[in-house]
Structure 1
Amino acid sequence: MLERYISVNKRYLNTVSSSKTTALKFNGEYLPTFSSFNTADKIINPFQKNDTILDPRNVVDPYDLNLDISKASKNPESKLLLDNFNKITIPKDLKSHLKAIVKEFVPHKNCFGYGSGVFPQQGNQDYSKNQIDMLLSVDNPLEWHKLNIKKNPDHYSSLKYTIKIPKIFEKIQGMGAGIYFNPFVKINGSEVKYGILSHDTLIGDLKNWNTFYLAGRLQKPTINLSNKGLADDIELGYWLQRNLISAALLSKKRCLSKYGSSFTDLQFFTELCTLSYLGDIRFKLGGENPNKSKNIVLKNMNNFKFLYDDILNEIMLWDEKKMSRYLPNGYTLDNYHTKLEKCIGKSSYSQAVKGVFTAGIVKSCKYAWAKKIKAMKK
């Protein structure tokens, strides 16, 4: 008889099964991997002295996809709404500084800080001088821009005048990944690049990986700069969590293919980061450091572990059949690389072209040159 383990609230239930085991070594420890348990299995609670046999039908799968958002929100055992992002830490003075910057914008729905200006990267000695990247989701981008242009007209290029022709401005907003970026904006002594997107665009990319522009960024450590917690938005929390699970599964698949049954957390999270850059036009043109993924992980290992802790506790034991169920529609463990290369290549190219106009020629050249200099510092 072979044993397998299923995590429920970080407590492991020891089950008896006749399934064939495959040894998977993650971060120096061996884990037995099995197919999902079924009602024919006997589940023994190792925390009870008398080895009480539990009814598998009463054991909650914390990542049950049969639970929709409303059901998951009512299920205290569900981890589909787990707010992993609130575990991420950055220096208190930096967080206060970022919060002060956010106050300079007109009201929005959600705001995330990311990139090397918030999270340092290996080889970057003074990250305080880096541009701070932010993403702001809003209900109505056109109306938001109207208000923000009145308050912060110097943040925009001459393209701001098209706001008077809503159809044109909305078309510009929707190009590429659906994000309107204002880069190299001076706010409270820092250079800031902030992107505006509709909340529906954010949810859509997390759910379907339409462009992977947002989903990829939110698979890496980001800091929630909103006034409210992410758990207050049930739909957003649900798809943020699903996005993390999908990324972890693909990273596991990549590690097994590349390193076999033994790999480290550094290798795992580096492969996870690499997903964001498959097909990215910036890498093809030499505008990014080819070691960027590894450099991000080396300086942010603890935050990666905070973000994926509970998820790794589960997915390392899933077989490929269960893994496939947690990928966005149309994605499989076999076609994901081709699909991501295609959609990332398309969105990164169109977003780059769009940036020339939304930022202006001078700022665009400055941004491209800054990227090139960073890429040369390998």
Structure 2
Amino acid sequence: MAGTKAVVACPSLYSKILESTFPQHFSFCFAYGSGVFRQSGSDITNNMIDMIFTVEDPPAWHKENISRNPNHYSALRLLGYKTVARIQENWGAKVYFNALVPIKDAGVTIKYGVVSRSALVTDLLDWNKLYLAGRLHKPVEVIRKTSDSQLRSALQLNLHSAVHTALLMLPENFSEHEFYITISSLSYAGDFRMMFGEDKKKVHKIVEPQMESFRELYSPVINSLSDFLEVSKESGLCSQDASPVARIHHLNQLPRAPQRAVVRLWNRDSRKLRQDTEDTLRAIAYDPDCGLFLLECIKDIVSASSIQQSLKGILTAGIFKSLRYGGNKILKMIKS
């Protein structure tokens, strides 16, 4: 699942960050973003490294981390590790971030999030938040592999879900570049930061330098869907079965949250006879606007989680770090 490694973000650097700084009670860890993978028009050496720690016991992990690294936290740490863990588990996308953390031994600045294994698995399978699931649609650098079979399975199913969703939104013929752009755009659809605070060309800058990493990541999924999708390695052109039968298959494979949302949206029209899930999905498959229905539902999921998580970030990072972090994002947006 790892993409092309950046020169600055080598395995020895990650080892130095993990071993010298953090509690070791985590089961899965990955790094992502412009500080890990080179993006078009960006100097990777100047970018913050983003990391995610997956833990079994958030209160215990925060207790030890606050003891070791109190300066990583905002004033929320004064309320105790149990409060920090409750904020993580009950607010926003169930991730607790500490931003703009200098790691002096490694000479880098990082932002790291903490998520429980159960919350991550739920998002990967159901897309109830489409937050970390969306980040894992793109190449990441796995720093510590998981030995948990449920999490490994959820990580793979998340990639399959991304392909089924993208195919419903794409026409019969499209380019490989469009395919990965569509997948990468899912977690940004409806994100208010894309209107104010994010680089407007962010998705293209992610995909274009990493085409080979995307191919490596999605090749097993594409091979498993050979009855529905063909990708030419020579020309980079793709063609899919766009028939209602194929659409029904993709709709049935959607994660629980967007699938239920599509059914609710379809049945909201009072002129239509209310149908059960199976009949509704079959009806949607015959509608030429099927992809648009799905996109609206994806936007609603992402919009809610991105707003909640951003408000939560003001608390977890503190006012000064939030202003600094937000200012950096706005500068990138202006430059783009």
Please indicate, yes or no, whether the TM-score normalized by the shorter chain is above 0.5: yes
Q: Is the 8 A contact 1:206 1:239 kept in 2?
A: yes
Match of 1:294 in 2: 204
CA distance in 1: counterparts of 2:6 and 2:199, whole angstroms: 26
Q: Give TM-score scaled by structure 1 length.
A: 0.71
Match of 1:375 in 2: 333
Runs of 4+ that moved beyond 4 A:
none
Match of 1:143 in 2: 60
CA distance in 2: counterparts of 1:330 and 1:368, whole angstroms: 30
> What does the per-residue CA deviation read over 1:11-48, in whole Å, with 9 as the maximum and x for residues that have no partner?
xxxxxxxxxxxxxxxxxxxxxxxxxxxxxxxxxxxxxx
Match of 1:268 in 2: 179
Match of 2:137 in 1: 219
Determine which of 206, 217, 223 is the counterpart of 1:307.
217
CA distance in 2: counterparts of 1:352 and 1:92, whole angstroms: 30
Tell me the amino acid that sits aligned with residue 123 of structure 1.
G
Moved more, 339-348 or 202-211: 339-348
Pair 1:129-2:56 in alignment: no
Determine which of 5, 9, 13 is the counterpart of 1:97.
13
* Residues 372 and 316 of structure 1, relative CA distance in 2, 3 Å threshold: farther
Match of 2:254 in 1: 327
> What does the per-residue CA deviation read over 1:345-369, in whole Å, with 9 as the maximum and x for residues that have no partner?
1111111111111111111001101
Quick one: percent identity of the two aligned structures? 36
CA distance in 2: counterparts of 1:176 and 1:119, whole angstroms: 26
Shift in Å, 1:116 = 0.6
Determine which of 281, 303, 318 is the counterpart of 1:345.
303
Q: Is the 8 A contact 2:6 2:38 kept in 1?
A: no
* Residues 314 and 120 of structure 1, relative CA distance in 2, 3 Å threshold: same
Q: Is the 8 A contact 2:4 2:210 kept in 1?
A: no
- Unpaired runs of at least 5, structure 2: 229-245, 260-284
Tell me the amino acid that sits aligned with residue 130 of structure 1.
N
For residues 177-256 of structure 1, the aligned pairs below 5 Å read 177-187=93-103, 188-226=106-144, 229-230=145-146, 232-256=147-171
User: Greater CA radius of gyration, 1 or 2?
Assistant: 1
Give the number of equivalent residue pairs.
Answer: 282
Tell me the amino acid that sits aligned with residue 299 of structure 1.
P
Match of 1:336 in 2: 294
RMSD: 1.7
CA distance in 2: counterparts of 1:92 and 1:365, whole angstroms: 29
Q: Is the 8 A contact 1:158 1:360 kept in 2?
A: yes
Pair 1:118-2:76 in alignment: no
Shift in Å, 1:337 = 1.6
Shift in Å, 1:143 = 1.1
CA distance in 2: counterparts of 1:276 and 1:169, whole angstroms: 26
CA distance in 2: counterparts of 1:149 and 1:190, whole angstroms: 20
- Unpaired runs of at least 5, structure 1: 1-84
Q: Is the 8 A contact 1:252 1:316 kept in 2?
A: no
> What does the per-residue CA deviation read over 1:166-223, in whole Å, with 9 as the maximum and x for residues that have no partner?
3x33431121001110000001211100000111110010011111011100110011
